Homo-oligomer: A and B are copies of this chain.
Amino acid sequence: MPSDKNIELTIRDGHESAPPKAAKKILDVAYDLFYRRGIRAIGVDEIVKRAGVTKPSLYRSFPSKDELAASYLRQYDLEYWERFDEAVAAYPGDPRAQIKAFLTRIGKRTQVADYRGCGMTNAAVEYPDHSHPARVVSEANKQELRHRLRAMAAAMGAQDPDTLGDGLLLLIEGAYISGQLFGLGGPAQSVARNADLLIEASLKK
């Protein structure tokens, strides 16, 4: 589900001129394959074959497979915050409703066969080395998520905003993982309700 916007930002840092058309096709295919089947599970040969290009084309646009994986995650990051900001924009000034909307959406997404969870989370599991290009992007995304959740917990008047923000983060990560572990009917479908219960219990009385 990569969008067409901002592709150039994820390729070669956007410093070069117009990005080659092949690069977009490669990134689109890599996005789909990396997300659905895992980064380590996909070889560059399969990517170029499915993209209808050749291997040298890939290495002209991306310095390595690891960097291609990082580009995939940068694209994922863009779309992630788009979804997040949609939920925020839907309920201006009401962080509790924003969280509820975001988690309801996550809960729905998990209830589909072959749901694969969060690409960021999965990449971090695949690459425990903190210096790996893909993991760097992943960790930055999660740090940002933590910041936002803690800020929203504070804005909704939590007794201990950091604890509530972290609790929401745990529920979200749990939903990503259990969504792909249990499939339909799994625990992830209750993430929004559990989050709301936790919020209710964490507000200043």
Contact = CB atoms under 8 A, between A and B. Distances in A.
Interface of A: 36-38, 40-41, 114, 116-117, 121-122, 124-128, 138-139, 142-143, 146, 162-167, 169-178, 180-182, 186-191, 193-194, 197-198, 200-202
**Which 4 pairs, one residue from A and one from B, show the smallest C-beta to C-beta distance?**
A170-B174, A166-B187, A167-B194, A201-B201
A131 B200 CA distance: 41
Given A125-B180, A173-B174, A194 B188 contact: no
Nearest to A121: B177
A197 B187 contact: no
B178 A142 contact: yes
Given A125-B126, A170-B178, A170-B194, 6 more contacts: A36-B128, A121-B181, A124-B181, A170-B171, A170-B190, A177-B177
B187 A198 contact: no
Nearest to A197: B201
B182 A142 contact: yes
A38 B177 CA distance: 16
Contacts of A202: 197
27 contacts: A38-B40, A38-B125, A38-B126, A114-B128, A124-B181, A125-B177, A139-B181, A142-B178, A146-B187, A163-B193, A166-B189, A166-B190, A166-B194, A167-B187, A167-B197, A167-B198, A169-B174, A169-B178, A170-B171, A170-B174, A170-B178, A170-B194, A171-B171, A172-B174, A173-B173, A197-B198, A197-B201
- Copies of this chain in its oligomeric complex: 2
Contacts of A193: 163, 167
Contacts of A182: 139, 142-143, 146
Contact of A194 (B36, B38, B125, B163): B163
A187 B181 CA distance: 22
